[in-house]
Structure 1
Amino acid sequence: MCLKNSIFSSRARLLIFIVQMAVDVILSQLHYMVPEESKHGTFVGRIAQDLGMHINDINSRRLRIVSKDGTDYFQVNLQNGILFVNKLIDREKLCPETSICIVQLEIIVDKPVQIHHVDVEIEDINDNYPVFSSKEFKLFISEVRLPGSHFPLEGAVDADIGSNSITNYELSSSEYFTLDVQTYTQKTKSVQLVLKKALDREQIPLHNLTLTAFDRGKPKLSGTTQLYIIVQDINDNVPLFDQPFYTVSLLENSLNGTVVTTLNAIDLDEGENGDIFYTFNKVASQYITSVFSIEQNTGIIRVIGDVDFERKNVYEIEVDATDRGASALTGHCKVIVNVVDINDNPPEMAVTSLNAPVPEDVSLGSVVAVISVHDRDSGLNGKVNCNISKNVPFKITSTLREYFSLVVDGPLDREIVSEYDIDIVATDEGSPALSVKKSIKIEISDVNDNPPTFPHISETISVKENNPPGSHIYTALAGDSDINQNSFITYSLIDSSIDGIPVSSYISVNPENGKVFALLSFDHEQMAHFQCRIKAIDAGLPPLSSNLTLHVFIDDVNDNAPSLITPYLSSEYRLTEMVSRSAAEGHLVTKIKAVDADTGYNAWLSYEFKDPAQNIPFSVGHQTGEITLIRPLMESDSDEHRLSIIVKDHGDPEISSTVTLVILLVESGEDLPVETKHHKRKENDFSDANIYLIMSICLISTIFLITLIVYTVLRWHKYTQEINDLKQHNVCPSIAGSWTYSQQRQYKICLTGPPAKNDLILFTPNYPQSSLDDTISNNGSLTTDSAGKPKHPHPDWRYSASLRAAMQGAVHVEGAAILRGGPVGLEQQWPTVSSATPEPEGGEVSPPVGAGVNCNSWTFKYGPGNQKQPVPQIPPDFPENFIIPGSPAIISIRQDQPSNQGQKSNFITFGKKEETKKKKKKKKGSKNQEKGNNAVDNNDQ
């Protein structure tokens, strides 16, 4: 019954352990499995894809992993988001005491901050053999033991788990012994040797058996040990415990000497055979014997070492009860010590991610820091809460298990508070509660939320005119409460204009220090006031700016001399007036008028004589400039008075101008001298009207000249176009080899007689006769064969482009000479000759085509084989040689004798008019003809 209860309780604990592991798996976000001892780079899982992250976000969001125990067994490939094995993992070293080995990872990403919990389960592989503590064991069994007796054996140890751990034992064949294997828990097995029949020491005093331990791994591994069974014939009762399986609970951190449990075994023998002592079995590890001890006589187990729940929470102790008989017998039991956790570990806190500094415009709820809090205790002792100890615009929120986020809970303003010192306190729920405090410093970073500001929105400054160009006139200074680049201010002028001229032509602003410089020398008389706007902009993103309106007043200085505006004043400031000798005292002679371009005192003028002569009859008004007669004129007064009048202003220093006034004294009714009148008229001859008149004449002349040039260009273009059109219909080769068209002579010859015998084509050259003569004498002779007939040109001869165009087109009335015969007339076309055939089929063209060929050396022959074109017949009364009036050419028509075919061949020869090879005229006629030719040539040209 006790055995059944023990088995039931062990199964219940196993079920609870499995359920707890399942809950841990469910709580994790991702769960991967990887075999132990996997090589570096072994694929574990696509962690970025499983978390729903895009591959491009891995680097930008700073994905990283944090292991709870600080190991680096795994890494993430930041290129593809794959979790892979970083170094070799030995599950037996990593998790020596647990059946399910899980490495807990925290995946942390920023922007925004997210934390994902990943559990990687290390799968066990069958890489450990079952190992016995010794290669041989000796058992002493009394011969009086009855069949069915059980003898505990020391089992093998396999560091693997599950199916890779020891699952079965086998014993070598024996008729006396067999094995009885009982499973209490997953890793707790009881291996006992069972006696099948009674032993007889006298027959077999020693039994040598082989015990083999197997696992179910792939491949299956095994371990063996030798059992030496020595048969004894004494002490046949074995000590028995009151229960084979003990379960006790023990608080961690129990003091040394604390009683764990008391064991009790009974031996039915008497005397030494019934005297029992207790010992730990040899299977017990050294770690167990360092923590616990057992009293041999009483069976009391006590604590002698440190009991730490976080280090080991379950102890399995094998205890033997042995009698003191000669053949000692031993009973066995197992004690399971469950360590109970107490709140002896304070929370451990670490800042795993801190986004500092924090922008002052960050939104509410933004995560500033991620805090990892871990308590090694379990249950309520390991449950931790966090809070902030100060009243700050931040708060703590719980995110995942053991993780808290520090988020923004209020508005931030760097200009008010630039830094916060926050104390975070983590407290567990144990009794008594334990806590830990950590201080973090959060800096507030500046954003560009303050524009540059000027002390005033407008300023008024004064600048004296005639200032040197480039002089400093003002400094615009703006302030910005931001820092760094957000407070770096640059200054510039806002585009505006003054009377159509950009303000940047007058002043400039240094962009770095805001100093305003005058680009030119100001003139108060031209511009007394202007305004501009200066813009101050910071370097933030986006930039902020403000404007300053600057009113600039140009102060007048005395830089203009008085200017006289009296009519008929010459460039030398000379004025001539006439006064009658009979003028009375007080007579107004003239008035000197002057103005000053300056203002104020600088423009207040006064008049006075310069070095006045004594007893002059004239005076000048000091303020008015009026020249008056101050006494009657006398006969002794000179006929001409030259007065120098100084006009000066009241500036500092004062500036003056001098005008010479010539006063002529005349009798009553007498006029001014002629030269004086002429001088007055000449003073104003060159007026503004004359200037406008000259400008108008120049403008009209320019327009007329442009019109004339345009008209000439258009006429020349039209003339060139007509020449090009005529060249496209040319029929006569020039000296250069191109066919040109004669615009000076066009002939139309009508012949009577049979149409089949009429054949006349007339050309007129358009170059000088002298060149024609030279061409005929050098290149004009026809190429003939021995019979005197025209010979076909060389087969390699080619027509030029212009020649082909002329020969393939019809010869029109206005483009070439035309031969018409018969009642209806005949329009002659050029015969075409193919260079591919040695003899032309229709006719022959004797002269070579190319440069240097002239029209007068052409001969056309129509033979009998030319069936394509009819041969015109020449009338019998047509003269053999005839001259066309006004033409320098002689047309010779010759009719050959009948050929073999019975037909005649007609030749039309163009020759020179002054001399041919057949006939020679007299020298006198030749000279007269040459004169006529020269005249004609000149006319042609």
Structure 2
Amino acid sequence: MEISQQVFEMVITPEDRLGSRCLLLLVLLLPAWEAGSGQIHYSVPEEVKHGTFVGRIAQDLGLELAELVPRLFRVASKGRGDLLEVNLQNGILFVNSRIDREELCGRSAECSIHLEVIVDRPLQVFHVEVEVKDINDNPPVFPVKDQRISIYESRLPDSLFPLEGATDADIGSNSILTYKLSSNEYFALDVKTNSDDSTQIGLVLRKSLDREKAPEHNLFLMATDEGKPELTGTVQLLVIVLDVNDNAPSFGQSEYEVKIFENSDNGTIVIRLNASDRDEGVNGEVSYSFNSLVPPIVSDQFRIDPQTGEIVIKGNIDFEKVNLYKIRIDATDKGHPPLAGHCTVLVKILDENDNVPQIALTSLSLPVREDAQFGTVIALLSVSDLDSDANGRVTCFLTPDVPFKLVSTFKNYYSLVLDSALDRESVANYELVVTARDGGSPPLSATVSVSVDVSDVNDNAPTFAQPEYTVFVKENNPPGCHIFTVSARDADAQENALVSYSLVERRVGERALSSYVSVHAESGKVYALQPLDHEELELLQFQVSARDAGVPPLGSNVTLQVFVLDENDNAPALLPPGPGGGAGVVSQLVARSVGTGHVVAKVRAVDADSGYNAWLSYELQAAAGAARSPFRVGLYTGEISTTRALDEADAPRQRLLVLVKDHGEPALTATATVLLSLEDSGQAPKASSRASAGVAGTGTALVDVNVYLIIAICAVSSLFVLTLLLYTALRCSAPPSEGACGPGKPRLVCSSAVGSWSYSQQRRQRVCSGEGPPKADLMAFSPSLPPCPVVADMSEPQDLNDHCSKLMVSV
């Protein structure tokens, strides 16, 4: 109310030339919703001062004052400049500059300023119509300052002489004119209304003129409108009284109406006029011409044949420029002085469909997020056609088939909205074609192209080529060595596709995973932070996470199974023979009566390595200068047995050196000392018997244990071969892995003098299925295959042509 009061005080000032009239007109300023249209309607008088209150537009649109600036509230008026403005502090629409209704709309009965109110975030558009009310600010105006009228003295009373009336630029009651003629005894004023609601005035002769008495009559014609206050205009009428010719030509009717199409060809006949004169001879010969007061716009478009009275087209007739021509025609005889008759020809122009629709993009909201909701407004369009009726009735549609549609928001206004889901990874840009077509026959159309870019959102997580990778690394690797590279791809764009890598931390025994390996955040390279020990950790299984830089970030994990390959870094270790014995020294009593092949002692040793590196062999070292020993040692059992029967010539104390050697490359060894005491069976029969029984029992037990061990090994080997075949059948079609594992790694099967051994990745699949400790390597022996060397790193190619048969299995 305070703002409204200030606006009223601003408008109603003593200097306002409209005075108290504005107070009455301002009552009309209250906004009203137009029934059924959803459009806000205001009204304001023309010529009001800057700052005049028009309406509380923000309140009427249901907008909060605090959101006008953040939501980029703005008002657009096509072709109207800055006549109206909105105060963003209080949401009031006010007059910003002078409004001249006649300049805006001419003599149109309706005059409105159409505003587009646009609010972003989210985008909304409202249509506001501000009607400009007319005030009586234009007085009647005559086309000339004085009119000269020639009248023959022979004219009879009641003769009519047409006058050019005044025009008023206002409308309504402000343009309704009344005429008053200055007081005289000869002339009266005749006023009548034509079919087009125009007023035709003329002088009526009330009594005969006498040129000799009064050759001229000076009259004043005053036109007064019905506005408040009334405004007037005057013109001087100079009546010249002529002599002689007393019959003027006359037309059949005072007004003719003709209709022609626009764009008619030059030379087209509009109408043929005919005026008659009752005089004879020269006084009855009539010539036709445009009245001297005909405006130039008529003489530029039409011409009249003086002899025939034909009005023909000589210019371009355009309905959109002028749709009605009012032509005053004079028919003048050739008497002395000549007399003239008058008529009016109304030429109405009919519209043709000669204007192509116009399309204007008033607002664009680009690019469009691929997760935008249905109904999101992409652009605002307006169409127009200068033609009328069906020729100016425009419809819009979209081509081709795209996930957008046009929604009509107001007459000739459309919103381009999202109609279905977008996917930038499928289509990143749409080229839309908007076609506007009018209802003419034939119809005319226009097109405009709109390029709509789809912006990316983080809706795709990084993906790895396969869910897990197998990596083989030799133990005792240098710290910080590169063992593998993981790589993930993200279908999104820019920062949403920027992938970083990290370890999924977990405990490995008593230590954290990050103490064993690390991954480079950008390249995905995996490094071993410390030397790995096959005897401590045979399999290291962990996950690497790939995360993009989107908000919120998306990610996925890949599993790496790192097998630590054994190297021959542990020498054989001798086991003590029993209580009371030292490691590496075996003492045993042997009766001289034992036969050939009798087991008298056994050397036991183990190797912390695995596979071929842990396969031990035993050799008997002969002492320098000593006679041939009656004992031998089993190559792979470590059992010491006699090679012949013992006799008295054999030394009573035998000292044997047994070399224990693994099959690594290079091989590592250990030496065991065996002390044998030979006794005669007669000297210590009980002891000898016990010793012989003990040795024999020991030998028998060892033989039994070896038999069971061989049976168990064969059973496990058969199960392993079956598992290997099943796994190979399942994985044969899998894509090759990366890094140290490499594509198509072979499974190696080798043989030795006493059997064969195999190391397979199929075993790794079984070991990695749980979190428990890894199992020992498996060796299966068969005497049918030739010997072969040890392969330390399955990730590198080896030359096995001389010793190995290879079976290639894709992993």
For normalisation by structure 2, the TM-score amounts to 0.66
Does residue 1:497 correspond to 2:507, yes or no?
yes
Check the 8 A contact 2:469/2:559 in 1, yes or no.
Answer: yes
- Output one character per residue of 1:157-202: Cα deviation in whole Å (capped at 9) or x when no partner: 4433334446234444445444444444797332333445554544
2:108 paired residue among 86, 98, 108:
98
Check the 8 A contact 1:582/1:633 in 2, yes or no.
Answer: no
2:165 paired residue among 152, 155, 164:
155
Does residue 1:475 correspond to 2:492, yes or no?
no
What residue number does 2:42 align with? 32
2:668 paired residue among 626, 630, 655:
655
Distance 1:434 1:635, change over 3 A: closer
What residue number does 1:845 align with? none
The Cα of 1:588 is off from its aligned counterpart by 9.9
Identity %: 50
Cα distance in 2 for residues equivalent to 1:226 and 1:82: 50
Check the 8 A contact 1:45/1:82 in 2, yes or no.
Answer: yes
What residue number does 2:470 align with? 460
2:606 paired residue among 584, 587, 595:
595
**C-alpha RMSD over aligned residues:** 4.6
Check the 8 A contact 1:115/1:400 in 2, yes or no.
Answer: no
Distance 1:523 1:76, change over 3 A: farther
Q: For residues 364-763 of structure 1, what are the structure 2 equivalents within 5 Å?
A: 368-388=378-398, 390-392=400-402, 398-406=408-416, 412-499=422-509, 501-566=511-576, 594-606=605-617, 612-615=623-626, 621=633, 647-656=660-669
- Provide structure 1 residue ranges, at least 5 long, that are not aligned to the other structure: 1-23, 670-941
Letter in 1 for 2:163: L
**Matched position secondary structure for 1:98:** coil
- Provide structure 2 residue ranges, at least 5 long, that are not aligned to the other structure: 1-33, 685-811
Check the 8 A contact 1:128/1:159 in 2, yes or no.
Answer: yes
Cα distance in 1 for residues equivalent to 2:658 and 2:52: 114
1:260 paired residue among 270, 283, 287:
270
2:141 paired residue among 131, 139, 145:
131
Stretch moving more, 282-291 or 450-459: 450-459
**Matched position secondary structure for 1:191:** strand
- Output one character per residue of 1:37-63: Cα deviation in whole Å (capped at 9) or x when no partner: 566766544444434445566567666
Cα distance in 1 for residues equivalent to 2:341 and 2:642: 166
**Matched position secondary structure for 1:522:** coil
Cα distance in 2 for residues equivalent to 1:108 and 1:166: 40
Cα distance in 1 for residues equivalent to 2:673 and 2:180: 151
**Matched position secondary structure for 1:192:** strand
What residue number does 2:289 align with? 279
Distance 1:552 1:575, change over 3 A: closer
Check the 8 A contact 1:574/1:662 in 2, yes or no.
Answer: no
Letter in 2 for 1:453: T
**Matched position secondary structure for 1:151:** strand
Cα distance in 1 for residues equivalent to 2:587 and 2:547: 71
- Output one character per residue of 1:115-164: Cα deviation in whole Å (capped at 9) or x when no partner: 54443333444444443333333333344555554433223344333344
The Cα of 1:328 is off from its aligned counterpart by 4.7
Check the 8 A contact 1:103/1:120 in 2, yes or no.
Answer: yes
Check the 8 A contact 1:569/1:575 in 2, yes or no.
Answer: no
The Cα of 1:254 is off from its aligned counterpart by 1.5
- Output one character per residue of 1:846-904: Cα deviation in whole Å (capped at 9) or x when no partner: xxxxxxxxxxxxxxxxxxxxxxxxxxxxxxxxxxxxxxxxxxxxxxxxxxxxxxxxxxx
- Output one character per residue of 1:80-110: Cα deviation in whole Å (capped at 9) or x when no partner: 6555556655443443353433344445566
Cα distance in 2 for residues equivalent to 1:286 and 1:554: 105
The Cα of 1:598 is off from its aligned counterpart by 1.6
Cα distance in 2 for residues equivalent to 1:613 and 1:569: 31
- Output one character per residue of 1:359-411: Cα deviation in whole Å (capped at 9) or x when no partner: 55556665555543322222222223344554555555555322445555666
Of structures 1 and 2, the one with the larger relative CO (CA 8 A, separation 6+) is 2
What residue number does 1:296 align with? 306
Larger Rg: 1
Letter in 1 for 2:444: L
Distance 1:204 1:657, change over 3 A: same
What residue number does 2:706 align with? none
Cα distance in 2 for residues equivalent to 1:28 and 1:192: 50
Distance 1:261 1:601, change over 3 A: same
Cα distance in 2 for residues equivalent to 1:49 and 1:552: 70
Check the 8 A contact 1:235/1:273 in 2, yes or no.
Answer: yes
- Output one character per residue of 1:469-497: Cα deviation in whole Å (capped at 9) or x when no partner: 22222222223334334433333333432
Check the 8 A contact 1:25/1:31 in 2, yes or no.
Answer: no
**Matched position secondary structure for 1:372:** strand
What residue number does 1:774 align with? none
Letter in 2 for 1:598: D
Distance 1:492 1:602, change over 3 A: same
Distance 1:482 1:501, change over 3 A: same
Cα distance in 2 for residues equivalent to 1:307 and 1:603: 111
Letter in 2 for 1:599: S
What residue number does 2:258 align with? 248
Cα distance in 2 for residues equivalent to 1:153 and 1:580: 164
Distance 1:581 1:360, change over 3 A: closer
**Matched position secondary structure for 2:488:** coil
The Cα of 1:341 is off from its aligned counterpart by 0.9
Distance 1:435 1:506, change over 3 A: same
- Output one character per residue of 1:503-552: Cα deviation in whole Å (capped at 9) or x when no partner: 23322222323222222222211221132122333344554433322222
Does residue 1:213 correspond to 2:223, yes or no?
yes
Cα distance in 1 for residues equivalent to 2:70 and 2:608: 72
Cα distance in 2 for residues equivalent to 1:479 and 1:40: 63
Equivalent residue pairs, number:
642
Q: For residues 788-867 of structure 1, what are the structure 2 equivalents within 5 Å?
A: none
- Output one character per residue of 1:633-665: Cα deviation in whole Å (capped at 9) or x when no partner: 999999x98x98765433222334567899999
Cα distance in 1 for residues equivalent to 2:519 and 2:48: 71
Cα distance in 1 for residues equivalent to 2:359 and 2:590: 124
Cα distance in 1 for residues equivalent to 2:326 and 2:130: 28
Check the 8 A contact 1:208/1:228 in 2, yes or no.
Answer: yes
What residue number does 1:349 align with? 359
Check the 8 A contact 1:578/1:665 in 2, yes or no.
Answer: no
Check the 8 A contact 2:591/2:678 in 1, yes or no.
Answer: no
For normalisation by structure 1, the TM-score amounts to 0.58
Letter in 2 for 1:602: N
- Output one character per residue of 1:410-467: Cα deviation in whole Å (capped at 9) or x when no partner: 6654444444444444333322232334444444444444433322222222222222
What residue number does 2:725 align with? none
Cα distance in 1 for residues equivalent to 2:143 and 2:493: 74
Distance 1:544 1:165, change over 3 A: same
What residue number does 2:237 align with? 227
The Cα of 1:250 is off from its aligned counterpart by 1.7
Distance 1:273 1:118, change over 3 A: farther
Distance 1:579 1:654, change over 3 A: closer
